[in-house]
Each structure stands twice: as structure tokens, then as C-alpha cells.
Amino acid sequence: MTKICVFGGSGQLGRSLVRDLAVLGDVTAPTRQQLDLTNIAQLQQWLQQHEFDLLVNAAAMTQVDVAQTAVELTLQLNHQLPAILAAHAKAKNIWLVHFSTDYVFDGSGDMPWRETDDCQPLQQYGISKRAGELAIQTSGCLHLLIRTSWLYDSDGQNFLLTMLQLAQANQASLAIERQSQQPATAMIKVVADQIGAPTFAPVLSAQVTQILSQLLVMPLLAASKLSGIYHLCAAGHCSWFQFTEAIFQKAFDKGILLNQPALRAVSSLEFARPAPRPKNSRLDTRKVQTTFALELTHWQQQLDQCLELLKFSAKTGK
Ligand SMILES: NC(=O)c1ccc[n+]([C@@H]2O[C@H](COP(=O)([O-])OP(=O)(O)OC[C@H]3O[C@@H](n4cnc5c(N)ncnc54)[C@H](OP(=O)(O)O)[C@@H]3O)[C@@H](O)[C@H]2O)c1
């Protein structure tokens, strides 16, 4: 049986991967308590003590603003960790699956980025993720390096859940304002000049599983020719503002929200954050679609799936 190790199995993508990859083999997912991935000696020991046929790295430092100042920790997780995993995968001649980001690009222009385009990250997070990519590529290991964008899940901390929480808080404040006969003023501001594809982590996980189910049964020589970088995210694109509009509209239609809060579109300049974000985060996904015969679903459809899941959890408490 294929022995698979998933690092970062408690993260939004990792949780789905641990579940989905079980159809391909025996999955081990060490928790942070069992294995601190910033501890190189502990990691090396772990890799020596266990035999795996496939390494999947969903662990990372993903807090983009925090990464601006926590530079060392960010490099440990986003550069050093994939470098060590890649060296191990090369030595053992096994596959490494790793995830990277649209934030390796500077966001210029209005065309979707291709895998071969120049990377000019704007912030520490992107710099560290790019360094991780280069370490994997130069190691010469068999790798699937998957760049995705705007990940979210129905659990944990992410943009979608933050927006729903804001909307619920907004409903409560509107109710208080109405009781006190004050005019309703609460308004949620969202950036409208950054464009990308919001991607539902369970969909990405299922697609990665589908790709691996093809790769792992191929003769090694044929499979090794497919080693490389792939862009994989939802189809279509929108701004954070349009994404929020769709979240509120759909959540309202599904009865998750009682009303739709007022929204105001703002520019990146008006909504300054410690780390600059790329304006054009669109990824060109043709390579992954043609190589693995993958059909990507639209971000609106993925959003529906996520909200249905949230509605189900709210009803059943599961
Ligand atoms: N989030 C996005 O919008 C986005 C967009 C594009 C690409 N990506 C990439 O996609 C991948 C998955 O992202 P995600 O959003 O699923 O990440 P996430 O939810 O932030 O999960 C990160 C994982 O890394 C683990 N981790 C962090 N530091 C650790 C340490 N010192 N020792 C052990 N484990 C540690 C976390 O464990 P704990 O649960 O113990 O903290 C968690 O399981 C990453 O490579 C990310 O760069 C993400």
C-alpha cells in the first residue's frame, strides 16, 4: 500500500487532503505537537524513522501581513521546509507535492499568469514561497508544485468566514440602531481592485487526488516527464468586492444571513495593509487542464458548495 505523509494536515487544505488521499494509500499526518516543522533536527529524524512513498506538504506560514515582520519563521516554513522535503524526496526517488501561490507574481497587467512567467513577489510571504519553489525545482526531485489562489474552507479562519462574521455582527448592530431609531450606517468596505479566483480547499484537494491517482499508476519514466509547476484554482475570476457580494447574496438566498449588509468598494490604497497584494492574481490553468484532463469548476459553483456545507453544519451541528 502507498505510504503517504501529509504535513500541515490540520490546515484548511491539509484537512481535506488527509481525508481524500486515504483512497490512494495509508495516510500519516503528524500534528504540530508530534513534529514541529521549524525544528530541522526533529524533521530529519522523523524522515529517517519513517518510510514514505509520497510526501504532501500543505504546511506553510500563510499569514501574509504577519510574514512581513516574522521573516525568519516565514522562511523556515516556506523555504527551508520544502527544501528539506525536496532533498529527501530526491534521495528516496519519491514524489513531493507542494503548494504555492499567486503571490509569487507582482500582479501587473491583466492577463492570467502562466507557469513560465517571471516571478516578482511584492511581499515577504511571496518571496519566501518563491524561494521554496526554487529549492524544489533545483533539487531535481519528482514534484508536483501547485500554485493556487485565494483558498478558503467552511471551517477555520479565512476571508469568507470573516465576511460572514462581519455580516452577522453588522445585522446585530443594525438591529440595535433600529431599536434606538438611529439611521443604519454600518457599511462593510471591501477591496475592488484585486482580481483572482477564490478556490474552495476541498475542491482543490479532490483535484490533487485525481491527479495523483493518474501519476501513481504510470510507469515512472512517463510520470517523471509530468513533474513540474502547475497552476490550479477555480475557473473564472472576480475582485474581493465581487466575491463578497456573491457570498452575501448566496448566503441570504440560502437563509444563512437574514439580510444583506451594505457594501462599499474601496481601492487597495484606501485599505492599506502591512503587506502589499498583487492586483492581478489570475492564474492561467490551461497546463493542468490539458495534462491531466481536469475540468475546473467556476468559483461561483465552489462558493455554492461551501455555503451548502455551512448551512448543513448549522442545521445538524456537524
Ligand atoms: N490560504 C490561501 O489563501 C492560500 C492561497 C494560495 C496558496 N496557498 C498555499 O496553500 C497551502 C495551504 O494553505 P492553507 O491556507 O491550507 O494553510 P493553513 O490553513 O494556514 O495551514 C497551515 C498548516 O501548517 C501547519 N504549521 C504551521 N507551522 C507549523 C509548525 N511550526 N509545525 C507544524 N505545523 C505547522 C499548521 O498547523 P497548525 O494547525 O498546528 O497551526 C497548518 O496545519 C500553503 O502552501 C499556502 O502557501 C494558500
Distance CA 285, CA 150 (A): 15
User: Could you give the strand order of the β-sheet that contains 95-101, starting from the edge strand earlier in sequence?
Assistant: 26-28, 3-7, 54-57, 95-101, 142-148, 228-231
Q: Which secondary structure element, helix H or strand E, spans residue 146, and what is its range?
A: strand 142-148
Atom of ligand 1 nearest to the CA of 129: 47
Residue 148 contacts residue 204 (beta carbons within 8 Å) = yes
Does residue 46's CB lie within 6 angstroms of at least one atom of ligand 1? no
Distance CA 257, CA 252 (A): 5
Q: What is the pTM of this model?
A: 0.95
For 124-147, what is the mean pLDDT?
A: 98
Q: Which secondary structure element, helix H or strand E, spans residue 292, and what is its range?
A: helix 286-292
47 pLDDT higher than 70: yes
User: Which of 13, 31, 34, 230 should be mutated for ligand 1, with most atoms under 8 A from CB?
Assistant: 13
pLDDT band of residue 202 (cuts 50, 70, 90) is very high
Q: Can you give the pLDDT at residue 312?
A: 83
User: Which of 32, 37, 194 should be mutated for ligand 1, with most atoms under 8 A from CB?
Assistant: 32
Strand, helix or coil for residue 230: strand
pLDDT tens figures, 260-306: 899 999 999 998 899 999 999 999 999 999 999 999 999 999 999 99
Q: What are the chain's domains? A: 3-153+199-234+283-296 (3.40.50.720)
Q: Can you give the pLDDT at residue 272?
A: 87
Q: Can you give the pLDDT at residue 170?
A: 75
Q: What is the DSSP string of 26-76?
A: EEE---TTT--TT-HHHHHHHHHH---SEEEE------HHHHTT-HHHHHI
Any idea what DSSP says for residue 148?
Answer: E
pLDDT tens figures, 91-102: 999 999 999 999
E strand spans, 182-317: 188-191, 195-196, 199-200, 228-231, 238-239, 263-266
If you take atom 39 of ligand 1, which residue's CA is the nearest one? Answer: 10
For 178-201, what is the mean pLDDT?
A: 80
If you take atom 18 of ligand 1, which residue's CA is the nearest one? Answer: 11
Atom of ligand 1 nearest to the CA of 147: 7
Residue 16 contacts residue 210 (beta carbons within 8 Å) = no
For 131-142, what is the mean pLDDT?
A: 98
198 pLDDT higher than 60: yes
182 pLDDT higher than 60: no
Does residue 105's CB lie within 6 angstroms of at least one atom of ligand 1? no
Pairing of strands 238-239, 195-196: antiparallel
173 pLDDT higher than 70: no
Distance CA 30, CA 238 (A): 36
